[in-house]
Amino acid sequence: MKLKKWVIATPVVLLLLAGGGYFGFTKYQEYLAEQARLEEEKKRETLYVASEEKTVEVFKREGEGSLTLVRGTPVETRVVPLIVKENEDDPDEEGKEYRLVFIDEEEYLMTDDELVSDPKDAVKEKSGFVTLPVILYENATGPDIKDNVPKGAEAEIIGYGQLLPDGGIDRYQVRVDGKEGYIRSQYLVRTREEVLDTVADFQYEREDEYGGGNAYTLEYPVFEKGNFPDNPMPRECRTLYLNKACPEYIEDYIEIAQNSDVNAFIIDIKESDGPAYESPVVKEYSPTSYEYAYCTFDDYKAAIQKCRDAGIYVIGRIVTFKDDLYAIDHPENILKYKPTGEAYMIADAYWPSAYHREVWEYNIKLAIEAVEEMGFNEINFDYIRFPDLINVDEDTIDYDNIYNETKAQALNRFLFYARDELHDRGAYLSADVFGETSNDYVAAYGQYWPMMSNLADVMCAMPYPDHFYIHDYGIQSAVWEVPYELLSIWGSYVQERQAETPVPAKVRTWIQGFDTTWKDPQVEYTVDKINEQIEGLYVNGLDDGYMVWNAPSEVWRYWSYVPAFRERVK
């Protein structure tokens, strides 16, 4: 019995007894090799799906059927490759080498070049071409600008920021003309031909009172507007302007809203003479400006929270390319006189150059801080332009235009950058423009309605009646005496500009809310004139709301306007 058990437990004895001597030992070696092979085939390892595309289609080993796997997905694979022939009956066919992949107890086939051992290697594209003039970011996450990359530039891909759940990439790490940084993935395509297919350029020959013959190339891809379920924008924003002193008395303005249909406030974040609160961003970029902060960080934040608690949609206003205090800290980034290098002053103010990316970065970082720390629903950029009447001094100004852009291109690209950064954070973008932009030309200071409406979520024009010439549009009365007639005509031209934009912005217009016009014949702007302005806009479908401009934000005056603050759009 003992011998029997021993024989059963020892395969080598069986082989030696069966074949005897050397022959039996050879059989045993073959047996061991086969056992080792079988054991090796059982071994599995975890690898990651890799591709130049977001996804890879994998097919079943037997029978019909396939799956789509997102790159970066971990899969369990057999270590030993499998040779698969198309024709099993052909002994000369070498077959193709695959890995067996096990998914939900089903076997699929993948090639080795579709699998990597390190998930960081799952993204396999090596180069691309830039579809638009875009920001080269300093890092994979922040808004910091390293440089500008022109349209059509070839970029060597050397890494990426984050692999997204759908297999896409947020930003590629690239090398362009010897410079390394990050580019948003949506602006990189595989071939030069795709660059031409992606964007239709808009050619414009300016023909206005400042002289014609200047050619503009403006980029008009289709940009979808922001739509953030966690941050819904009211269909109609009935909005009061609150200057930087107002957060100290925020309850007074909330009371007005609670006794009317006012549902939005536009509140200063930064004016040309300083910020509304002690902003860490302002402290970093413009210490002089920080010294003039009106509110503490905590008091300002508490005021904004009170507005949100009251159900009020809050818009933060940033005066962008007009900033006296920033000019003190950064004379290298402002408009200057060519002959002397001294700061250029117009309208009693100094102007940071809209061509300067550091100026962009400062204002966008402040906008991001206001959204993330203060809770603003939307950021409004005012003075998003060069100085008006700048054409008079054109030949004497040093713009430091390092990328050789037109004024319109610089503003367009700033909005492009602002849109991307704010939309990343679930906030909307609005842009203030002069009433003149309803005309069909690029203004001397760079604003052009169709271009800006293509990028902004909301266009906020400033057609204050007493800013027009006395008989504009052939109106016989002084136009500020008849604001309904004036704005209904002006609004018809805005609709023409809106029609030139692939996906136009909403239109929420600034209306005049100050006491007496500064031109003769003087007209007091009571509640009736507020109503006339609103109705003149709405009759042309410019009914996404309005913003009442009253620089001192007078509580008593806003109370006098309450009968006009009623819901007009259902």
Tell me the fold of 125-199.
Answer: SH3 type barrels. (2.30.30)
Q: What is the pLDDT of residue 206?
A: 45
Q: What is the pLDDT of residue 27?
A: 73
Q: Has this prediction a pTM greater than 0.75?
A: yes
Q: Where are the alpha helices (DSSP H) in 210-356?
A: 250-258, 280-285, 287-290, 297-309, 324-329
Q: What is the pLDDT of residue 32?
A: 67
Give the domain ranges of the chain.
2-41, 44-118, 125-199, 226-564
* Sole residue written with tokens 């302005």: 533
Within 10 angstroms of residue 114's Cβ, the number of other Cβ atoms is: 23
Any idea what DSSP says for residue 243? -
- pLDDT by position in tens, the chain (length 570): 444 444 444 555 555 555 555 666 677 676 666 666 666 667 889 999 999 999 999 999 888 899 999 999 999 999 888 887 666 666 666 778 899 999 988 999 999 999 999 999 999 999 999 999 999 999 999 999 999 999 999 999 999 999 999 999 999 999 999 999 999 999 999 999 888 876 655 555 444 434 444 555 666 678 899 999 999 999 999 999 999 999 999 999 999 999 999 999 999 999 999 999 999 999 999 999 999 999 999 999 999 999 999 999 999 999 999 999 999 999 999 999 998 999 999 888 999 999 999 999 999 999 999 999 999 999 999 999 999 888 888 889 999 999 999 899 999 999 999 999 999 999 999 999 999 999 988 899 999 999 999 999 999 999 999 999 999 999 999 999 999 999 999 999 999 999 988 899 999 999 999 888 888 899 999 999 999 999 999 999 999 999 999 999 999 999 999 999 999 987
CATH code for residues 226-564: 3.20.20.80
Query: Cβ(276)–Cβ(244) under 8 Å?
Result: yes
Q: What is the pLDDT of residue 387?
A: 93
Query: Cβ(279)–Cβ(293) under 8 Å?
Result: yes
Measured CA to CA, the distance from residue 300 to residue 1 in angstroms comes to 94
**Do 44-118 and 125-199 agree at the fold level?**
yes
Q: What is the pLDDT of residue 238?
A: 98
Measured CA to CA, the distance from residue 193 to residue 129 in angstroms comes to 9
Pick among 2.40.33, 3.40.1000, 2.30.30, 1.10.10: CATH of 44-118: 2.30.30
Q: What is the pLDDT of residue 420?
A: 97
Helix/strand/coil for 569: coil
The residue ranges of DSSP E strands in 333-391, in sequence order, are 336-337, 345-346, 349-350, 378-382
